[in-house]
Homo-oligomer: A and B are copies of this chain.
Amino acid sequence: MSRFWSEVVHGLTPYVPGEQPRIEGLVKLNTNECPYPPSDAALHAIAAATGEGLRLYPDPEARALKEAIARHHGVPVSHVFVGNGSDEVLAHTFHALLRHPAPLLYPDVSYSFYPVYAKLYGITPREVPLADDFSLRVDDLLAAGPNGGIIFPNPNAPTGIAMPRAEVERLLRANMASVVVVDEAYAEYGAESAIPLVAQHEQLLVVRTLSKSHALAGLRVGYAIGQPALIEALTRVKDSFNSYPLDRLAIAGSVAALDDADWLARTRERVIATRERMSAALRERGATVLPSAANFIFASFPGRDAAALLAALREHKVLVRHFKRPTRIAPFLRISVGTDAETDALIFALDAILR
């Protein structure tokens, strides 16, 4: 507390990201990073950009990156906005498109940064409870009354459950007066993307990141796809905030990563295969595992306290994540899909603890 603070600062409860500990030999399954190294093409492109050119500002529009994203998804460049990770893209989205008198709708179990953004920008949220099977129901969103916007992750986090594209489309048809943001941070691992719906729905914005899908969490590149009126709002806010949120190395590396389609196909396949094996192994051990379309699973172990289980796993040098709230998800642990060896280490540790 300080008399120098702007009023908004007093009420902020910042988002707390998963730990980034530096412990030798730790099996790190707590922040949904991709377990495989990024594309060699991306690393080579970064190396090529590491030189005298760094004395110059980056392209403030990051045109090369927008073009790579447009190629990757088959959309016009005018439909693309880029930012410093999808977190920055989401922040600008809340500021530019979701700040209206009517409340903003999002699921009660969802990305825990949403309420933080809402607070930062003075937006009133209304949480829509997930169904008993932890799925997000379009009818529940539509029954929530007038809204100033809707945002949800697809697949949802931390449940991993995906909404079919047909359901997203049904939502868009029934909700035309406010922006619908589909946060597809994990969509490359099995959800049906809403990107093909952008051309027909002017109120749709799809947000993505290269952190998980392209093993580039350390590079901070996110983007949004929407029709030009939505992109213009984001661009106006971005250009009133920071001209160059993406540095030269991030632009160079992400362009090459997006163009390396083979790497993506190969890595996605490996992660999905390990996810299915891990889910089966956990179910064999009595766990309830929600059906995941992401690179993590959400699992509870009946009769076991999740926080205690997390602590026990940590003693076995396996780090996972636990969310205390809302209380209905408190029995669950969120476990990132690692390499096969990391998955074996997790199972081995669980067997030792559950025995």
A56 and B6: CB pair below 8 A?
no
Please, what's the 1-or-0 string for A11-43, where 1 marks a CB less than 8 Å from any CB in chain B? Answer: 010111110100000001001011111100011
CB proximity of A200 to chain B, nearest CB, Å: 16
The residues in A between 229 and 259 inclusive whose CB is less than 8 angstroms from any CB of B are 229-230, 232-233, 235-250, 253
Q: Please tell me if A326 contacts chain B, counting CB pairs below 8 Å.
A: no
A242 CA / B188 CA spacing, docked (Å): 22
CB proximity of A114 to chain B, nearest CB, Å: 11
A236 and B15: CB pair below 8 A?
no
With A43-B51, A244-B85 already in contact, the answer to whether A6 and B203 are too (CB < 8 A) is no
Contacts of A98 in B (CB 8 A): 6
CB closest chain-B residue, reference A92:
B241
Number of copies: 2
Which of B6, B15, B33, B60 is the one whose CB lies under 8 Å from A243? Answer: B15
Q: Please tell me if A9 contacts chain B, counting CB pairs below 8 Å.
A: yes
Contacts of A88 in B (CB 8 A): 241-242, 245
The residues in A between 191 and 250 inclusive whose CB is less than 8 angstroms from any CB of B are 202-203, 211, 215-220, 229-230, 232-233, 235-250
Residue picked from A15, A28, A47, A217, most chain B C-beta under 10 Å: A217
B236 and A14: CB pair below 8 A?
yes
Which of B55, B91, B246 is the one whose CB lies under 8 Å from A36? Answer: B55
Contacts of A145 in B (CB 8 A): none
A203 CA / B5 CA spacing, docked (Å): 10
Q: Please tell me if A124 contacts chain B, counting CB pairs below 8 Å.
A: no
With A12-B236, A243-B15 already in contact, the answer to whether A97 and B4 are too (CB < 8 A) is yes
16 new A-B contacts at CB < 8 Å, known A55-B216, A245-B245: A2-B233, A8-B237, A9-B96, A12-B237, A14-B239, A14-B240, A15-B239, A33-B57, A37-B51, A38-B54, A43-B51, A84-B242, A85-B242, A117-B241, A218-B249, A220-B245
State the A residues within 8 Å of B (CB).
Answer: 1-9, 12, 14-18, 20, 28, 31, 33-38, 42-43, 46-47, 50-60, 84-85, 87-88, 91, 95-100, 116-117, 119-120, 177-179, 202-203, 211, 215-220, 229-230, 232-233, 235-250, 253
